[in-house]
Structure 1
């Protein structure tokens, strides 16, 4: 095994100095805890499947992965400020670590993507390191796609009825009516009558054949303050492939305000739509109504001093049947309880993608939704968690 690893590193060094790429026409493998670092392009024309070890993409110059056969890596990471460009699909079977740099692919080519297989997970995604082309999943039901544009992470959470044989996702901070990165366009004036307005700031492409819900968040750059009057106006809309116009997908939950928040969609089949984004309900002709009043914003500091150690919602006991849900800024549910009574103290009770659950949730802003079933009321707002 040591001999094979030694040869692999020699090959990388040789090709890095002798030409602009490592050309694989054999059968590259890693064994045990082997680590292989690429500082040059990879042209893959034969089997390259690792079942252990780490493959990293490093350096100050851009690196491209191309060729007719998609490599499958066990663990991989990117520490490449000049970015990793995919000319062919790159499969990951265990873990992908975003350290620095983006993974790019053509937004005009939906068959090339960073593909997270089966039980694969990722870590470290942030505004400076994410997928700025297409990300994909294979044999997964729940997944948060680490997509965005050059400057910010704009993830999409997918929750499907069953495993997706394949689902792909990309984010574009561009006008859907005239996007510069793709050849298609989705005129925001072509819409059904029960849509008031559609954002010209951003949209997502999501494809998959399994009925699913999505969670999408917005921030000040989404500019929803100039789209709707209140957060209750915001709805998820999709460009119908059959109708060639924007139609309502709808929401089952939302929280936040027009500057920052998220929504959870109604169930839909992603591949029925070429693009999805934020729209509004038509504005009332005579009067303005707010359907969901807020209980206010809260501060929780679980430090044991007896002050604000838990989330206390006054008078919630007046409802004999209520439900509290708390979400992070990306719309990931971190806490839920029926008939809530002052139990939330900064820890998640959800069996999902929360990392380091035993250490408690990270400090920051969270969104809550309170439903009073017996009173037929729904409230939403913010809470700030201070560690």
Structure 2
């Protein structure tokens, strides 16, 4: 224990005896097997990032880490019942041992966070010990964020297609219609295939790598307000470009409406402001596509194939086939481009004068909604 006592003595020599905090304005390092326990605040205005050994935060009250520079520790332990307020970010290279108390960050300042660096992990997370605010990761592909609020740990499991250079997550027990740190996310702006969006909680997730997430719920989530069956639960995200809630899928689901989990399909987190739970309506009752009539004769009536329902799914695909099964048209993200002219490189005859009139059939995939349709259209010259 001699190295610990020497380091503590050095710290006190930096601050004198009048400040209620440990103040670092120099260049400190905890060596291998070294241990440093904080029972008071840390003000870090010096270099304190090349550490091995253990740093612990202990005591019945609330502690604070502040200063101009972010400390980076190797192993961290928290047994501070009042929590540790992070007024500057803290990084950890190896293990975090959650015992009691939360690492607290201001959700209005997402630049403050508890960071899990490459290969960092944690143990012991629980309702009484977690990150209450923003947690981040760097250099990791798959990770479970140990986030929550003052009462519950509400983890978000991130599984990415590649390594994340940086990702950030926080949990909010708030109505997304009236969030404390964001502009409102109107839960009524949603596709017709969605029955409802949760008004009790949401997560903020940032990242640039295509990923899936797994969210869990408890009794406080009140999913009985939005769904009658657990199989209808789906992950929802507020899409930045579309300015509305879009379903992110439910590729795996388990539990009941009191406690369970749901896994999304793949998406890019940075395309969405926040994510939460939603419930699927009976799609067949709410959304159907007709058979269509197209007469591209320049009279301004039915000159192109218009499918208004595709506005509900910006990520869609339209394919048109003739009666022999020959594909004559295809378009991703269709926006009324079909005017009776083929756009595929196949055996279509007289391409320049347009397709012959007659009966065709279409196949439509609405990727945002997870729906597929097929039907007929009649082309008349």
| TM-score of the alignment, normalized to the shorter chain, above 0.5 | yes
Number of the residue aligned with 1:104: 104
Query: How far apart, CA to CA, are the structure 2 residues paired with 1:44 and 1:171?
Result: 27
Q: Secondary structure at the match of 2:175?
A: coil
CA deviation map 1:126-149 (0-9, x unaligned): 000001100111100111110111
Change (3 A) 1:50 1:59: farther
Q: Is 1:190 paired with 2:164? A: no
Query: How far apart, CA to CA, are the structure 1 residues paired with 2:272 and 2:16?
Result: 43
Number of the residue aligned with 1:64: 64
**Structure 2 residues not aligned, in runs of 5+:** 287-381
Number of the residue aligned with 2:128: 128
Number of the residue aligned with 2:361: none
Which protein shows a greater Rg? 2
Q: Secondary structure at the match of 1:79?
A: strand
**Correspondences of 1:345-384 after superposition (within 5 Å):** none
Number of the residue aligned with 1:279: 278
Contact 1:16 1:40 in 2 (8 A): no
Change (3 A) 1:16 1:84: farther
**Structure 1 residues not aligned, in runs of 5+:** 288-387
Query: How far apart, CA to CA, are the structure 2 residues paired with 1:207 and 1:160?
Result: 12
Number of the residue aligned with 1:164: 164
Change (3 A) 1:100 1:23: same
Q: Secondary structure at the match of 2:224?
A: helix
CA deviation map 1:6-52 (0-9, x unaligned): 33211455649521222211101011211111112112122102431
Query: How far apart, CA to CA, are the structure 2 residues paired with 1:99 and 1:168?
Result: 23
Give TM-score, length-normalised by structure 2: 0.71
Contact 2:195 2:226 in 1 (8 A): no
Aligned-residue RMSD, C-alpha = 2.0
**Correspondences of 1:241-280 after superposition (within 5 Å):** 241-280=240-279
Moved more, 15-24 or 131-140: 15-24
Give TM-score, length-normalised by structure 1: 0.70
Query: How far apart, CA to CA, are the structure 2 residues paired with 1:6 and 1:248?
Result: 56
Q: Secondary structure at the match of 1:82?
A: coil
Query: How far apart, CA to CA, are the structure 1 residues paired with 2:190 and 2:49?
Result: 46
Q: Secondary structure at the match of 1:160?
A: strand
Moved more, 71-80 or 41-50: 41-50
Number of residue-to-residue matches in the alignment: 285
Query: How far apart, CA to CA, are the structure 2 residues paired with 1:149 and 1:8?
Result: 34
Number of the residue aligned with 1:31: 31
TM-superposed CA distance for 1:275, in Å, is 0.3
Contact 2:11 2:24 in 1 (8 A): no
